[in-house]
Structure 1
Amino acid sequence: MGAQLRVYKRRIRSVTATKKITKAMEMISAARIMKAQRAVEASTPYARELTRAVTAVATRSNAKHPLTQENPEATRAAVLLITSDRGLAGGYSSNAIKKAEELTARLEAEGKEVVHYLVGRKAVGYFGFRGRAFEQSWTGFSDKPSYSDAKEVASALIDAFTTETSEGGVDELHLISTEFVSMLTQNPVEARLLPLSIERAAEEAEVQGPFPLYDFEPSAEGVLDALLPRYVEARLYNAMLQSAASEHAARRRAMQSATDNAGELIKSLSRLANSARQAEITQEISEIVGGASALADANAGSD
């Protein structure tokens, strides 16, 4: 019994130490969520208005631009997948990866070759473990992305889009990220960034009200040349911020669940330890009573 009691006490100490770690991680993630939410709220109006401006130029002029022209014979598509650098975030990364796999299967069913670009060590590890090729990857900033990070990724993607497919370029650019809805809800989403879908973008922009009357200087083509790269950067930056907020929320929820489970396990182990200690005490009392009884019988026999 004494050995079993020591085992229970050792496990209780181990689980208690783990509970302290998960509780600390939960509190850290909770604090970081607020910062990430503020960053999302600050970047969303800029991305929305930039999308409206690009849509206005594309729909209110006869400008033909490679970033807005559909290719009816598209053969290659790029998929940018945003995941986390660290684990312990529940199903955050796995849900995004699953969404990317669904999109990849759909594009391949359309007869397109899919080229992957990865953000986050979880995506890199997933592709590396399965021996699957990817074009380029970025790591180290998933939980706190900066605009320069988004600009670096956007530059590589725009270069691939503006390169001929015969030279390794792509005809389409798709994005898989995670939308932050609330502290409890984060949804993996997909979006086609390029070529810009004018009809869909116009419908979304009209919801916010009629377009202003723009004068294009020096020309609509020149405005698109300047705005579309900024549009891609802003969309990517907002998606990275949304994903970062989702990562922190998923990690906080996972750590809260781990902390609660550790508490329940400690209670269960404490009950088992108390039962073992009570059984040990009962056995010792029984041994004492039995010894005393035997001694009394021996004394009585000698008399």
Structure 2
Amino acid sequence: MGAQLRVYKRRIRSVTATKKITKAMEMIAASRVVKAQRKVAASKPYETELTRAVKAVATGSNVDHPLTTEAKNPTRAAVLLLSSDRGLAGAFNANAIKAAEQLTERLQREGKDVETFIVGRRGIAHYNFREREIAGSWTGFTDQPTYQDAKNVAAPLLEAIEKDDADGGVDELFIVYTEFVSMMTQVAKTERLLPLNIDEVGEKHEGEILPLYDFEPSAEDVLDALLPRYVESRIYNALLQSAASKHAATRRAMKSATDNAGDLIDNLTRLANAARQAEITQEISEIVGGASALADATAGSDR
């Protein structure tokens, strides 16, 4: 009995230490997700106004720009997957990777070659383990992305879409990320960034009239300047959404782990109490039995 009690006490100490770690990680994730939410909200006005500017230029001119013109027979596509550098976030990475794989399969069924670009060590590890080719990868900033990180990610993607297919270019650019809906809900989303579908850009308001512009030196030059910024801002917002979603998923996972550790400690405590009670009962029985045997022996000698 004493050995069993020591096992229970050792396991209680181990689970208690784990519970302290998961509780600390939960609190850290809770503080980070609030900061990430603020960054998402702060990036929205810039993205909205930039989207309006792109929409105004594209609809106010008759320029066939390569970034807004659909290819007649698209044969190559690029997919940007946003994962995280760290785990312990429940199904966060698994859902994003699954969405990227489903998108890749759909594009391949359409007869397109797909190049995969990945942000985050978890996504890279998943593809490397399965020996799948990765066209480009970035790590080290998924928890707190900056606009410079978004520019670094966007640069090779823009370069690829501006090239001809014969030179290794792509006709379409897709992004897969996790949208932050609420603290309890995060959804893996797939969006096409380029070529830009003007009908789907920005929110449509009934009766909205876009201003008329004169473009100098030309509308094409303005698009050359605006569209890369548009892609960078979209990627930056997606990085922020993904970071907020990851922190929320970590917080939820760590809270679940903390609750489970508490339940396990309660169960182990009950088992330890039962073992200690059994040990005490056994000791009492042995004492009573010894006393009874001694009394019988004493009575026999008196006779």
1:129-173 deviations in Å (ceiling 9; x for gaps): 111111010000011001010000100100111111112111110
- Distance in 2 of aligned mates of 1:100 and 1:123: 10
Q: Residues 85 and 142 of structure 2 are in contact (CA less than 8 Å); yes or no, is this contact kept in structure 1? A: yes
The worse-fitting range, judged by mean Cα deviation, of 193-202 and 219-228 is 193-202
Is 2:252 aligned against 1:253? yes
Question: Which amino acid in the other structure matches residue 276 of structure 2?
Answer: R
Q: How far apart are 1:211 and its partner, in Å?
A: 2.0
Aligned ranges 1:174-253 → 2 under 5 Å = 174-201=174-201, 204-206=203-205, 209-253=208-252
Q: How far apart are 1:51 and its partner, in Å?
A: 1.3
1:14-53 deviations in Å (ceiling 9; x for gaps): 0000000000000001001111011000101111221121
Aligned ranges 1:281-296 → 2 under 5 Å = 281-296=280-295
Is 2:79 aligned against 1:86? no
Report the secondary structure of 2:201's partner residue: helix
Report the secondary structure of 1:159's partner residue: helix
The root-mean-square deviation of aligned C-alpha atoms, in Å, is 1.2
Q: Residues 179 and 245 of structure 2 are in contact (CA less than 8 Å); yes or no, is this contact kept in structure 1? A: yes
Report the secondary structure of 1:117's partner residue: strand
Q: Percent identity?
A: 68
Aligned ranges 1:1-303 → 2 under 5 Å = 1-201=1-201, 204-206=203-205, 209-303=208-302
Report the secondary structure of 1:226's partner residue: helix
- Distance in 1 of aligned mates of 2:63 and 2:194: 16
- Distance in 1 of aligned mates of 2:153 and 2:66: 19
Q: Judging changes above 3 Å, is the alpha-carbon distance between structure 1 residues 45 and 66 closer, same or farther for their aligned structure 2 residues?
A: same
Question: Which amino acid in the other structure matches residue 264 of structure 1?
Answer: D
- Distance in 2 of aligned mates of 1:232 and 1:256: 36
Q: Residues 80 and 117 of structure 1 are in contact (CA less than 8 Å); yes or no, is this contact kept in structure 2? A: yes
- Distance in 2 of aligned mates of 1:209 and 1:39: 28
- Distance in 2 of aligned mates of 1:186 and 1:257: 17
Q: Judging changes above 3 Å, is the alpha-carbon distance between structure 1 residues 205 and 226 closer, same or farther for their aligned structure 2 residues?
A: farther
Q: Residues 179 and 187 of structure 1 are in contact (CA less than 8 Å); yes or no, is this contact kept in structure 2? A: yes
Q: Residues 117 and 137 of structure 1 are in contact (CA less than 8 Å); yes or no, is this contact kept in structure 2? A: yes
- Distance in 2 of aligned mates of 1:102 and 1:226: 33
The runs of 5 or more residues in structure 2 that have no matched partner are: none
Report the secondary structure of 1:187's partner residue: strand
Report the secondary structure of 2:225's partner residue: helix
Q: How far apart are 1:234 and its partner, in Å?
A: 0.4
Q: How far apart are 1:200 and its partner, in Å?
A: 1.8
Q: Residues 176 and 189 of structure 1 are in contact (CA less than 8 Å); yes or no, is this contact kept in structure 2? A: yes
Q: How far apart are 1:207 and its partner, in Å?
A: 6.2
- Distance in 2 of aligned mates of 1:215 and 1:11: 74
Q: How far apart are 1:208 and its partner, in Å?
A: 9.7
Q: How many residues align?
A: 302
Q: Residues 52 and 205 of structure 1 are in contact (CA less than 8 Å); yes or no, is this contact kept in structure 2? A: no
Report the secondary structure of 2:254's partner residue: helix
- Distance in 2 of aligned mates of 1:72 and 1:4: 74
The worse-fitting range, judged by mean Cα deviation, of 138-147 and 49-58 is 49-58
Q: Give the TM-score normalised by structure 1.
A: 0.97
Q: How far apart are 1:210 and its partner, in Å?
A: 3.2
Q: Give the TM-score normalised by structure 2.
A: 0.97
Report the secondary structure of 2:169's partner residue: coil
